[in-house]
Structure 1
Amino acid sequence: MGLLLVAGNCLSQTFQYDTTSARQRYAVTRLSEALKQDRSANVYTIQLITDTSAYALESFSVNNSNHSVSITGGSDRALIYGCLSVVEDLRNGIALENIQPKKEKAFLAFRAIKYDLPWDTYRHSYALSLHDTTCRDTAYWKAFLDMMAENRFNALTLWNLHPYTFLIKPKNFPEASPWNDDEMKAWQTLFHAIMRMAHERAIDTYIIPFNIFVTPEFAKAHNVAMDNLQHDYFVRGDTSAIIKQYTRECVTQMLEEYPELTGMGLTLGEGMAEMTPQQREDWMKETIIEGMRQANRKSKLIHRIPFSSTTGSLGITSIETEKLTRNAIKQEAAMGFMEMPVWADLKFNWSHAHSTTKLIKVHGGKLYDTYFKPEPEVYKVTWTARNEDFFCLRWGVPSFVREHILNNSQSWCGGYTIGSETYIPAKDYFTKDKNDLPWHYAFERQWLFYKLWGRLLYNPLQDDAIFNAEFTRRYGVQGKQLPEASSLAGSTALRIASDFDCGWDFTLYTEGMMALDAATKNVSYISVERLINQPPLDTDYVSIKDYVQQVQAGQSFDKAKTTPPQLAAMLERDCNKALQLVQNISAKNNKALMYEVADIKTWSYLGLHFAAKIKGGIALQTYRTTGDEKYKRDAVMHLQNALKHWDAIISITRPLYNDMPLVHLSQQGGKENAENFYKTFHWQMLRADVLNDVQMAENIHK
């Protein structure tokens, strides 16, 4: 155990720890930086102790007595969490001498972030490519990885269509590289830095390619995959022998050149059209799995559960495909070159996990019980909780995240992956006036989102005190009202997504009150007509159309169901209370607080807008079935109120937020289609659509 003497402002502390461990050095550095602000007068000895016999891998304790703080854990990762726990206390104004004993352990083993890189992106959009410069900066990655460690995320998954040539120059296929020597060196320097910093923070890293893709340079050199030089994602799979060899060798070389890279992920969908589930699985075995086997070290695997049981890229789920996949994972694990367990990943409620905590569907449809009956021995199921619903507005509902985790963490569950495919949390392209702001990067705006998911995945029984304390630390006395207001207002997002059935990414964009129109294939404002006819995602919700039909038929409702009037009442209750909680907060001298309050107000008015639309939809549908003019007048009144609430949203957000590039609006676009490639969003742009609801109701005839 090495010794290090660190001097603080009013004291000196002696740290005792393993100086040969990069992770313990990181933990001590973070703690010593925080201690510079401590005003204690006592001299302290701070010990970092590894005890694998008494502590689980990610569990730790903090004890404080006789001017000595001991942080004990089952691994270096646990010691980092223990040190950062003390850092959190210090930041919250607790002096070192007053640090209370504590003991914590991990609830779920896999706590990951899904991060789509801005290079060779899954979709082609300026909303993604605009992050290029930020994501090439190692200072950004240091900040992001620090945030992950503080929130106890322990895995970073990096995605793009064809990642290999950003990390290596293939030895046997140098013609595949699009870079000159200087460019290649710059890419490798960046990725080595990311892997090294992640390793120091005890964060596992995974590279996850989509399939099947090669570089345009490789395609042209070997006359293969010539029908997909632009890298569209739903295309025929080219299974040429040379592509198999190239992919396999890329995997092996990458794992050997990046010893700090934890492992690989695989997906069985994109770039694999016209292939059966068995053919897709066979291709993976011959390429990624075999490439992992040939590497001179062990690595870990994330095996995405296939979402198509057909030869189409957007097929449906089936029991047969589940059986095939389970057997394939078992065979892969038996080969002996992978660290266990394999993470078998599924999308919770497809691309919209921020809806209901009940599992309604996965990507492709229904989930059967094949993956967990009988309970697996070599893999754990993990949930991807995709967020394609709010990028601009801050969000945080602790009770929802806690319930989500506790309801869906059976013994066969290994953890969660949190993130988006249409949003990269790097450059802040939202904020108009960036002067005097405490944040620099986009993820820092959504600090509560990451803190909630990370800390509750580590310990879902953690109460809200740590989140409340963070609000107070950031905003003082005025911050005490914000946790409740944020939670009440944030429920708007969950209720919209629960009430409006959705699937893949563009089928819903909650904060914009937008959804995919199947007829036009465009993402547009959810009109009152669509709201009336769209079935809910949550099976406990009743649609407007069904509600009116049952009322007219004199039928009663199951007490467990949420009817449209009840939903509207819940929205009004919570959103009005949220507005009351923040109405007297003065943020004139604190821009960060101003944005927090503005977002709470925006969610609240969006909830009131949604409630008024529900009421308008009920009245409109009732008028159609009865012909009673009273209901037509009611519909107009409620939709006029919805417009007023929308105008309130515009008045709040227009001075604060830019017109925002949005992938949802450019799904048909690419650089060759600049109109879509650069499409933007702001609530003001939809006002005419909101007004159209009012005008339609005024002019409707039975």
Structure 2
Amino acid sequence: MKKSFIIIIACITGFLIISCNQDKGTRTVFVGSDRSSPQALYATGKLNKALLKSGYTVIEAKNAAGCIIDLRIAENLPAEGFSLVSNGKNITITGGDARGMIYGALSLAEDLRNGIRLGKVCDRAEKPYYPLRAIKHNTPWDSYRPSSAIDQHYETVRDLDYWRAFLDMMAENRFNSLGIFNLHPFVYMIRPKNFPEASPFNDQEMKEWEDFHHELIKMAEERAIDTYIFPFNIFVSEQFSKAHNVALTNFYPHYYCAGDTSEIVRRYMRECVTQVLQEYPGLTGIGFTIGEGMAGMTPQQREEWMFGTYIEGMRLAGRKVKLVHRIPFSSTTESLGATSVDLERLTRKAIEKEASLDFIEGPIYADLKYNWSHAHSTPKLVKVHGGKMYDTFYNPEPEGYKITYTARNEDFFALRWGVPQFIRDHIKLNSQTYNGGYFVGSETYIPALDYFTALESPVDWKYAFERQWLFYKLWGRLLYDPATPDKTFEDEFLRRYGKIARSLPEAFSLASSTQLRLASLYDCGWDFTLYGEGFLALQGDSTKYISVNRLISQPALDPDYISVKDYVEGLLKGETFGEKKVTPPELSELLRNDCSKALQLVKNINTSRNVSLMYEVADVKTWAYLGLHLAEKLEGAVALQTYRLKGGEDNREKAITHLKKALGNWDKVIEITRPIYKDMPLTHYNGSSYDRNDNNLFHWARIRPEVARDVEIAEKASPKNSADEH
């Protein structure tokens, strides 16, 4: 018979007493659950798999089991929350709903993977911090931006095995919603009954698309993951456009075009919405995207068009629907415009009207892009798409909707990233009662095909998102519970690679902070205005390396960061900077200290027997040398600008010295990445053009001549000439 015992864990504030059970005679396990529930079957299957891998025998005879694990639901627990109680030879996992039950089962499975025996399992109770924890996932068909970087994922994203793995990752990391984005998803899901000419597919092709979407939604339902489609507007199929001679450019690959408000387009869109919702009863909801295909329309006209098509289509579907109303980003008739208080008032009024409708299941999520397309910058909300966010949406506090934020990543696709404190800081700054959660994802990148890995040696991943496991685990688990300890992520490193990887979490946190510091220093907006891991930015009409001149003249994004230009000018005027301000020399010191420490932490990790571990360590080193590159470049930029404004040959020589060191650190990046990373298609190379650019391969080695040009700029510099003149 098992005996109970007490473990006392010392905490900073006192002692936490946790009851556990010994693990004697419990090699056979029975898992009980409601076998009629798809979610219970999924939870049971994942738990059984973990038990078998841990050496247990799973049996169907409850009376013969040495340990009984019971999965159940109790409405007295919070939605999505769970409790795990170990009592004698029984473990009871209770969810506040089916989703909470799954999370409880996966929590126990995580313990088992980390080597914890059933008799050592500790009691716990958890509940979600935010109600919405979503992934933004674009498709390679009818994609928002045309690019081979997007097209290459077509076969992978059509493969349900990919989605099975991706949805498993979402459930494990406690993401509860999937948003699928493309210009016009409807003709891939239905053949419009009254507009069959809109379909680009024959009967067999259409059935394959329908089967694909039905199975995808079914798999999401089994994992208790909500599904949303996010069309852009106003877009139709090319076949519909040509058949009716309307919306002449409102189809792929166009995405900035005039809005067509003709009656046949309105009717077509309304009927598409209704038919999709009726034929896919498992589809949770729809997200509005108001802007790109609506040039020439006022904000009021855009809201009225959405209400007359999408909202009316939802009503006619005859069932409850959830809604994400993405906040419009143009207060003018242009596709790209600025924010304004009047636009916010108009939008709030429209959302409140939608929230009053009985067929819309609340709350509505009113979504904004956090720091536009570059959330991995400063945790402070500096701007949204279009500019400043005013207080209209939360003053007074809303009742029928919650504000959510999209944390876009357009900055790192190849390199692994992981800074848990940054995400905690994000959450801390956005914990008001009106905040509903986050979408996390990209517009210019799809995490499907692994188009990065150059080595043919076996690795632990098949898909691109599996390379970035830490990114998803950090965002998902911390959005569910920001108090999740770092040990949770450290344990995953140990499980994957053993004790040799103990220093990797800290090393990643230090080294990949380079991205956050660059994007906080370098003011950025829409997608192509920065590509952090490549030190690229849109300059004029093309995307290219951020030169020393550009670094000098570019304003900072974070209001506490001081640009090189402002710093040097202020210094020469005798100005001082407040304690909270981050000057270029201070930033350089931070980068140098953190990146040097990261290199020391991974210095003695032997990766010769594990290629997957080698890639993890290589990414730490790459981020670290990119950070050291930026540190030297900043010092060189300060010296160069000082020379231009003040003179002094020693300033010019100092600039040359630092920029040569910056180039040396870039060469270290090339030395690490050239053998292990392929040349990678990059959507950012479209530049300011709306057309695709197939001359779009990126690798750090390919842009070395641009990096080396910084030294030449300093060597040819002369006094009294600002960076703007070079």
2:504 to 479, 482, 485: 482
The alignment's C-alpha RMSD in Å is 1.3
The AA in structure 2 aligned to 1:120 is D
Tell me the CA shift for residue 678 of structure 1: 4.6
2:192 counterpart of 1:176: no
Cross-structure match for 1:327: 349
Tell me the CA shift for residue 409 of structure 1: 2.0
Give the 5 Å matches for 1:96-245.
96-245=118-267
Secondary structure of the residue that 1:57 maps to in structure 2?
A: coil
Cross-structure match for 2:53: 37
Cross-structure match for 2:538: 516
Secondary structure of the residue that 1:226 maps to in structure 2?
A: coil
The AA in structure 2 aligned to 1:37 is K
Contact 1:27/1:80 (8 A) holds in 2: yes
Cross-structure match for 1:291: 313
Take 1:99 and 1:185, find their aligned partners in 2: how far apart are those partners?
A: 47
Take 2:173 and 2:336, find their aligned partners in 1: how far apart are those partners?
A: 35
Take 2:357 and 2:41, find their aligned partners in 1: how far apart are those partners?
A: 36
Take 2:71 and 2:544, find their aligned partners in 1: how far apart are those partners?
A: 55
1:654 to 674, 684, 706: 674
2:621 counterpart of 1:601: yes
After superposition, give the CA deviation of every residue in 1:22-76 in whole Å (9 maximum; x if it has no partner): 00110000000100023469711111121102x0111101111211000011101
Take 2:79 and 2:137, find their aligned partners in 1: how far apart are those partners?
A: 25
Contact 2:28/2:56 (8 A) holds in 1: no
2:48 counterpart of 1:48: no
Give the 5 Å matches for 1:660-675.
660-667=680-687
After superposition, give the CA deviation of every residue in 1:644-685 in whole Å (9 maximum; x if it has no partner): 000000000000001000000124668x86xx1351100011
Take 1:298 and 1:115, find their aligned partners in 2: how far apart are those partners?
A: 24
Tell me the CA shift for residue 461 of structure 1: 1.1
Take 2:397 and 2:304, find their aligned partners in 1: how far apart are those partners?
A: 24
Give the 5 Å matches for 1:173-572.
173-518=195-540, 521-572=541-592
Contact 2:449/2:464 (8 A) holds in 1: yes
Tell me the CA shift for residue 422 of structure 1: 0.2
The AA in structure 1 aligned to 2:52 is K
2:597 counterpart of 1:574: no
Secondary structure of the residue that 2:502 maps to in structure 1?
A: helix
Take 1:557 and 1:328, find their aligned partners in 2: how far apart are those partners?
A: 44
2:695 counterpart of 1:691: no
Tell me the CA shift for residue 230 of structure 1: 4.4
Secondary structure of the residue that 1:340 maps to in structure 2?
A: strand
Contact 1:608/1:642 (8 A) holds in 2: yes
After superposition, give the CA deviation of every residue in 1:422-464 in whole Å (9 maximum; x if it has no partner): 0000000011124311100000000000000000000001110
Tell me the CA shift for residue 550 of structure 1: 1.4
Tell me the CA shift for residue 358 of structure 1: 0.5
Structure 1, unaligned stretches of length 5 or more? 1-8
Secondary structure of the residue that 2:543 maps to in structure 1?
A: strand
Number of residues of Structure 1 aligned to a counterpart in Structure 2:
688
Secondary structure of the residue that 2:32 maps to in structure 1?
A: strand
Take 2:270 and 2:707, find their aligned partners in 1: how far apart are those partners?
A: 53
Following superposition, which runs of at least 4 residues in structure 1 exceed 2 angstroms of deviation? 9-12, 37-42, 227-231, 666-670
Tell me the CA shift for residue 333 of structure 1: 1.7
Contact 1:125/1:678 (8 A) holds in 2: no
Cross-structure match for 1:6: none
Contact 1:409/1:415 (8 A) holds in 2: no
The AA in structure 2 aligned to 1:236 is A
Secondary structure of the residue that 1:587 maps to in structure 2?
A: coil
The AA in structure 2 aligned to 1:597 is V
Give the 5 Å matches for 1:56-67.
56-67=78-89
Tell me the CA shift for residue 394 of structure 1: 0.2
2:701 counterpart of 1:679: no
Normalised by the length of structure 1, the TM-score is 0.97
Secondary structure of the residue that 1:506 maps to in structure 2?
A: helix
Cross-structure match for 1:17: 33
Contact 2:325/2:366 (8 A) holds in 1: yes
2:42 counterpart of 1:26: yes
Secondary structure of the residue that 1:342 maps to in structure 2?
A: strand
Tell me the CA shift for residue 228 of structure 1: 4.0
After superposition, give the CA deviation of every residue in 1:590-638 in whole Å (9 maximum; x if it has no partner): 0010000000000000000001010000000111111100000000000
Contact 1:660/1:681 (8 A) holds in 2: yes
The AA in structure 2 aligned to 1:476 is G
Secondary structure of the residue that 1:227 maps to in structure 2?
A: coil
The AA in structure 2 aligned to 1:142 is R
Contact 1:10/1:39 (8 A) holds in 2: no
Normalised by the length of structure 2, the TM-score is 0.94
Contact 2:407/2:441 (8 A) holds in 1: yes
Tell me the CA shift for residue 549 of structure 1: 1.1
Take 1:123 and 1:159, find their aligned partners in 2: how far apart are those partners?
A: 11
Instruction: Indicate the percent of aligned positions where both proteins have the same amino acid.
Output: 57
Take 1:654 and 1:279, find their aligned partners in 2: how far apart are those partners?
A: 52
The AA in structure 2 aligned to 1:406 is K
Take 1:678 and 1:181, find their aligned partners in 2: how far apart are those partners?
A: 37
Secondary structure of the residue that 2:668 maps to in structure 1?
A: helix
